[in-house]
Each structure stands twice: as structure tokens, then as C-alpha cells.
Chains A and B, each alone.
Chain A
């Protein structure tokens, strides 16, 4: 498959989960394909980084569920800031704890999972959908986190086979497997599609399997410009250009026009 073929499976209004973390191993080749598409009104779920900022800047987002949005080396995501500060998008601010429990609840097909995280905070105050549940054994009140069920998930891995087995060779798999499990359908882009995954990847690095993967795309450099060890570090220069482009709408449009079909440096 190609990134554009993956995106042809998506539709406007979908709840879309994006793997990675901050500005690290984001499925950027697939995000670029969304930027090239007619998709709009997306309901994003992400440990947010430039994936969220780019799609917000392109006017393709209705709502974001997030614990944070950051470019890591640039703490505040300037395009996400623009979207929030002009109220161009709806926000569902969950913090990291609720976000994780919501993904787990969706992955495990549960109506909710309990959480101490969130209690007492304004995360609850700003989301009227979140309810409390009482521990039937000890009586403690906990947040009943509803499932973050995704219509589709997109993640970027290192090596995959055509069956949908996938390996992450870097130091942290993040929660990409949960995103795939939480989604009705999930697509994985990867650096290379290989014939015999077990001969090229340590078995402990194989986090994705065919039960949670609908299709695989070979997209070398598919996380560019985000950090993707061991393939390459973050392309800080491109990220700085991206951040700087948030200063005015013309620069944003120029960056999006370039980046939407830019090829990852080899």
C-alpha cells in the first residue's frame, strides 16, 4: 500500500488515533497524505506533537483529545496554540492518566476503566462526559474513564511483514500497540517491509501483530521530521521552520504546501 491508499480508507469526521509521543516517531508520512487529501472534521486522539499541529493548521480538525501537545525541543506547539487561542477546535483535555486508561478501555473492549488520575482536577470540570464510579469493595470514588474507541489508528514502526507483524527497534514502543488495538482499523507505516521479520528484529521488539493491523505501508523516513531512533534523530532545523511558520497565516500556508508533498531526506 501507499500512504495515499491508506488515507483513501479514511473519511471526514472520523475519530483518528495517531501513534508516537510528542515529536517522536510520529506517523508523518501518513499525516502528509492526510494533508494532501480532502479529509476534514477529524476527531484526533494523540500524545500530541506536530501531527496535531499540522492537521490543526490545515483546518482538518474538529476536536483533539490530549494529555499534552508539545514539540519536545520546542515546549509549546505553536500551531496547536493558534488553534486553541482562536477557538478553532474543540479540546478534550484529559491529562496523561485518563488518556491512557481510555485507550486501555477501548483496547480491552470495556465500558470504562477506573482512574485516580483526574480526581479533584479541572480535567473533570471541563469534560461533563466524565463520571465517577464507586469502588464496590472499599468505597473509594474513582473516575470512570470511557473508552477512547478509535475509528482508525495510524502508527509508524521500523520493520513490518506483509501480514501485519511489526517491530519497533528504538528504545520506547510508546503506546502504539494500544492505539492499534483501540481502533476498528489500523495502518502501520514502516521503514522497510521484510520477508522474515524474526530474522531481522529481536522478538521482544515485535509489538504489533495481524490481529491489530489492517494494512502495512513501506515509507522510509516516515517519521520525519520527528525523532526516530535508531533511524535518525529529530530534524530540528525543519521543526524550527515548521514552528516559525506559525507566526502568520501566509507562512503557515507556504509550509503546508511544501511539507504536504515533501520527501523525507535519505
Chain B
């Protein structure tokens, strides 16, 4: 992973700031690194898994066990924050994992809604979009698998793309740019997003790593 990729991992880590003993579920490379960073530094009580049934520490050392049934319990109980992927995402954070095209006979059948209807209703969620484009960011998703801010989401905390970090505190709960990754520009964000993106008054650059984080990231991504 490049140093540019580190910004995404750090932004993913920051999603877990202030969290205690909850399940931190992370789908994708930057989210997984982020969850490990958070646990190794400012959120030591987070519960991580290896992506399967094993509870691990930040270094991946096995500690415990979590079956799917227990994961569902944590979903319903709200003791989880998940950084998810999405095939489509609209300005309110409605997310599609189900299909492209008309649902009755899709052009492309994707995974299915998976846990998104329950995840987004029951606990906090964020999204990682590794390639910011008009294919992913759309005016309207073809199927609402995960709820946006206008459909009763529990809490959509952040969207981390390869250009920057967004929240949903724009007008009417819409996407707002909070930080740009080093090298990314506001023009790029607007060019690669089909709808106008509002921008935080205090727009900043995505933070760099602390010395400790730099050491961990260097080792983990070597």
C-alpha cells in the first residue's frame, strides 16, 4: 500500500474514535488496517475479528471466537460499527449491494442486500469507496439495501474514498466533504461525483500518521 493509501487507513481508524467494547467490522484493505490501528492506539477495547470466526488483537493474534449467530446478536443489539462497501451510494448514503438495473430482471445481479438493511438500522455504519467515481456515487441507487439519512439510518458516520473523507452533515443530511487526502483536489471530487457535494467550512487535509501509526503501518504493509 502506498503512503497515499495510508490516508484512507487513518481515516478509517478515526471512524472508531471514542468507541469502547463494540465489534469493529471492517470490509476491505484500508478499513481492516484502520480498525487494527484504532485498536492498537486510541480504541484498545475494540473487538476485531480475522474476517472469519476468530476474535483477534491488533496484531492478528487469536483471542476468542465469534460465530455468525453471535455476530447477528451484536447487530441487533447495536454493539457494532461496520465499515462497509457499496456498489452504489447516493447523496443521502443510501447504499446498493443488490443489483444494477431493474430489480425484477437486473442487468447485473450483485450479492444481495446482505446484512445492510439491519446494519444501517441497528448500528453505526461507514463506507469505504476505494475508487471514487460516478459509477459508485449516483443520483439514485437502483436498490436501497442500506438506509441513508433520509430513510432512517441509525448513524452514518463517514464515507472514505480515495479522494477524501465525507460525512452526512450537508443540507438535509447529505454528503459533505470534510477532508481531502494529500494530492486530491476539490475539482476532482466534483468531477467524479454526479451531484453537488457540499464542503465543510473548515475543510482540511486528511491527517497524517503519528510516529506510532507510521511504525505500525510500515510494518503491516511491508
List residues of A whose CB falls within 8 A of some B CB.
21, 48, 66-70, 75-76, 80-81, 84-87, 91, 93-98, 100, 115-123, 125-126, 171-175
Contacts and interface: CB of A to CB of B under 8 A. Distances in A.
B147 A68 contact: no
> Chain B contact residues (Cβ within 8 angstroms of A): what range?
35 or more
B86 to A, nearest CB: 13
Given A85-B105, A120-B147, A121-B146, A68 B111 contact: yes
Interface string B108-119: 111111111110
Interface stretch (B66-74, B178-186, B197-205): B66-74
A182 to B, nearest CB: 15
B212 interface: no
Interface of B: 52-54, 65, 67-69, 72, 75-76, 98-99, 103-118, 120-122, 143-147, 151-153
Contacts of A119: 117, 121, 147, 152
11 contacts: A67-B114, A68-B112, A70-B111, A85-B106, A91-B103, A95-B117, A97-B76, A116-B76, A117-B115, A118-B121, A174-B69
A95 B114 contact: yes
Contact of B121 (A67, A120, A122): A120
Contacts of B147: 119-121
A95 B105 CA distance: 18
A91 B98 CA distance: 12
A145 to B, nearest CB: 11
B69 A84 contact: no
Nearest to B154: A116
A123 B144 CA distance: 8
A181 B52 CA distance: 26
B53 A171 contact: yes
Q: Which 7 A-B pairs have the closest CB atoms?
A: A117-B118, A97-B118, A68-B112, A120-B151, A84-B109, A95-B113, A87-B105
A216 to B, nearest CB: 23
A124 B118 CA distance: 12
Nearest to B100: A85
Nearest to B142: A122
Among B107, B108, B118, the most chain A Cβ lie within 10 Å of the Cβ of B118
Nearest to A66: B112
Contacts of B146: 121
A21 B143 CA distance: 23
B92 to A, nearest CB: 11
